[in-house]
């Protein structure tokens, strides 16, 4: 499933051809993705311009000149492509936006776990699942104090806490394990251990927030998934300087977790 860096890269690709442009036509090649499109989905878009295209967690939010918001989620296999002439030969091309910028934007989703809806305003994004999200990890609002407050008293693992979109928005399996490795914290560690009993951040919370921000910024800057230090490296030497550990894989909540049992405590 695309995680925050991948969704941010999609936003950066779509922004030049969507912002300030109007929807000239909207073609739906099926009645639903993960859920059914609203019956007036196309009519609520056509003729209206995109005032801004923002990302919230793993969601894309297009603020429209009508005052409404187009909410989009890639799901597990969704992707956008931008071209001048849509090729509808692919049976998984489910949505086509023709913009006044001259661009044709095609949403392709083989597994159909993606999501699109039009909501009345930002307050209504709660219905689409956006309102329950925690702070953006690259924002000033996400700091060690905020993370410690969210983890105070939690008996779940640190891996599970960071994967909870209510704790921090947009993190997924890959970047959680990468951040934990950089912060030298075990994914099995109880989440509450990074906070004092009254919810103040311990030094481990500071390290972890710094690692999360660094991992995400590097991923967005590279523009691709590569150079992982721990993810999918089972049986290989740990890349932490001076560490002689070997990367292990365990399963947590039905997802693979990769970590170094020597330097992650």
Catalytic residues: 2-3, 58, 255
Beta strands at 248-252 and 50-56: parallel, antiparallel or unpaired:
unpaired
Q: Which two tokens stand for residue 75?
A: 């799901």
Q: Give the C-alpha separation, 141 to 147, whole Å.
A: 10
Element (H, E) at 160: helix 158-163
Q: Which two tokens stand for residue 68?
A: 């409404």
Beta strands at 59-64 and 255-259: parallel, antiparallel or unpaired:
unpaired
The CA–CA distances, whole Å, from 78 to 125, 165, 220, 242, 243 equal: 20, 19, 18, 40, 39
Element (H, E) at 27: strand 23-28
Q: Give the C-alpha separation, 171 to 152, whole Å.
A: 19
**φ, ψ dihedrals at 147, nearest 5°:** -65, -40
Of 195, 187, 209, residue with least CA distance to 154? 195
Q: What is the DSSP letter of 38?
A: P
State the maximum Cα–Cα separation within the chain, in Å, rounded to a whole number: 61
If one counts every other C-beta atom within 10 angstroms of the C-beta of residue 239, the result is 16
Match 């560490």 to its residue by tokens.
243
């Amino acid at each position: 499933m695309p995680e925050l860096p991948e969704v941010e890269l999609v936003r950066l690709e779509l922004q030049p051809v969507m912002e300030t442009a109007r929807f000239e036509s909207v073609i739906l090649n099926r009645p639903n993705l993960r859920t059914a499109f609203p019956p007036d989905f196309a009519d609520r878009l056509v003729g209206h311009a995109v005032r801004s295209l923002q990302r919230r967690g793993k969601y894309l939010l297009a603020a429209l000149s009508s005052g409404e918001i187009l909410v989009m989620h890639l799901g597990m296999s969704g992707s956008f492509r931008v071209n001048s002439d849509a090729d509808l030969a692919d049976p998984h091309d489910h949505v086509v936006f023709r913009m006044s910028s001259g661009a044709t934007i095609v949403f392709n989703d083989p597994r159909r776990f993606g999501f699109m809806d039009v909501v009345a305003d930002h307050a209504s994004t709660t219905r689409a699942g956006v309102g329950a999200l925690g702070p953006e990890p690259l924002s000033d609002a996400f700091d060690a104090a905020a993370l410690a407050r969210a983890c105070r008293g939690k008996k779940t693992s640190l891996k599970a806490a960071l994967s909870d979109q209510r704790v921090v928005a947009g993190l997924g399996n890959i970047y959680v394990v990468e951040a934990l490795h950089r912060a030298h914290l075990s994914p099995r560690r109880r989440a509450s251990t990074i906070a004092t009993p009254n919810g103040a951040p311990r030094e481990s919370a500071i390290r972890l927030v710094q690692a999360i921000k660094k991992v995400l910024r590097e991923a967005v800057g590279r523009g691709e998934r590569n150079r992982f230090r721990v993810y999918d490296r089972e049986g290989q030497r740990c890349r932490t300087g001076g560490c002689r550990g070997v990367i292990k894989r365990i399963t947590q909540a039905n997802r693979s977790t990769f970590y170094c049992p020597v330097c992650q405590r």
